[in-house]
Amino acid sequence: MRYYPFSWRVAASGAGLVVLAAGPALAQTPETKAGPADSQLLLLWVLLATLGLVILLMVLLAATLVVRLRPQLRRLYELPTVRPTWSGRVLGLLVGDATLVRGEVRDELLDHDYDGIHEFDNDLPPWWKYSFYATILFAVGYLSYYHLAEAGQLQGAEYAAEMQQAALFVSTEADDPNKLTTYQPLTAADDLSSGKSLFTTNCAPCHGANAEGKVGPNLTDEYWLHGGEVNHVYKTIKYGVTSKGMVAWKGKLSGKQILQVSSYLLSLQGTKPAGAKEPQGEKEAPGQRVARL
């Protein structure tokens, strides 16, 4: 049996490990190779892990030094010229004196005596005072940035901008509730008759037989809660107003039937039926309604 020197055996073993480690990489096909984005992401995680390890080692090293040098630090802290200074108070934290955070506790009584209640003359905790100063600085910066320089959006403007951005993701198809139709009112007798029949069957229980208003508002006056132009009325009937109890009719009536009902309602303007409900909403003259077309 032939024996090789130790260095040759180590080199051979290392070469074998390199071959085994490179085997999967050599067998990897072009389709399974990591892309540039994956490589950059992997490199980022490696750098972050390395940075975290370095920070951890530095913290452990600093803690070890503090523990080993604590007697010397204590003697340095006891010096009269060191202890009252800011750096001395920071040094005190390392040796167990929390005066920098807790403040001075003198336990000196003031001359105040209210029903046996005495007041001590102690400082406010520094952490509380510094937090209070930080809130003042933040308030000044906030006021300057948002109200004086007007460089940032206030809550109302920010909400409006977010709603506009959200509207971009809403479908713009024909069934989009944010897209107003461009229909003209129907005037043919058959359409108005059909609209009256549909209204009597479906809408009269809430709005009255003559649209004078019951649970729902009066639909014969010039006041409208959600717009009195035919396309606004069409939209209200189709999608409803769930917050006010108005159901959506888009799954029960066809588009033409909804337009017939809308046109019939506009034909009732100014009829002034008996027992009409008081006006609700905003006044809208016929000219204004036509202008919305």
Asked whether residue 160 is assigned to any structural domain, the reply reads no
Within this chain, do residues 224 and 134 fall inside the same structural domain, yes or no? no
Within this chain, do residues 195 and 265 fall inside the same structural domain, yes or no? yes
Final residue belonging to a domain, choices 61, 86, 102: 102
**Which range of residues forms the domain containing residue 114?**
104-155
Q: Report the distance separating Cα 269 and Cα 286, nearest Å.
A: 9
For residue 158, which amino acid is it? E
10-68 pLDDT tens trace: 444 444 444 444 444 444 444 445 556 778 888 999 999 999 999 999 999 988 887 88
How many residues appear in the chain?
293
Task: Find the helix or strand (DSSP H, E) in which 157 lies.
Answer: helix 155-167
Within this chain, do residues 211 and 265 fall inside the same structural domain, yes or no? yes
Q: pLDDT tens per residue, the chain (293 residues)?
A: 444 444 444 444 444 444 444 444 444 444 445 556 778 888 999 999 999 999 999 999 988 887 888 888 878 777 877 777 777 777 777 777 777 777 666 677 777 777 778 777 777 888 888 899 999 999 999 999 999 998 888 888 889 888 887 766 655 555 677 778 889 999 999 999 999 999 999 999 999 999 999 999 999 999 999 988 999 999 999 999 888 889 999 889 999 999 999 999 999 999 999 999 999 888 886 644 433 32
Within this chain, do residues 118 and 49 fall inside the same structural domain, yes or no? no
Within this chain, do residues 98 and 109 fall inside the same structural domain, yes or no? no
Within this chain, do residues 221 and 275 fall inside the same structural domain, yes or no? yes
Within this chain, do residues 60 and 120 fall inside the same structural domain, yes or no? no
Asked whether residue 251 is assigned to any structural domain, the reply reads yes
Asked whether residue 20 is assigned to any structural domain, the reply reads no
Domain count of the fold of the chain = 3
Residue 213 CB neighbour total at 10 angstroms: 21
Within this chain, do residues 75 and 150 fall inside the same structural domain, yes or no? no
Asked whether residue 221 is assigned to any structural domain, the reply reads yes
pTM above 0.75, yes or no: no
Within this chain, do residues 74 and 110 fall inside the same structural domain, yes or no? no
Q: Look-up: residue for tokens 């024909």?
A: 174
Asked whether residue 252 is assigned to any structural domain, the reply reads yes
Asked whether residue 74 is assigned to any structural domain, the reply reads yes
Asked whether residue 9 is assigned to any structural domain, the reply reads no
Please report, for the domain that includes residue 228, its CATH number.
1.10.760.10
119-141 pLDDT tens trace: 777 778 888 888 999 999 999 99
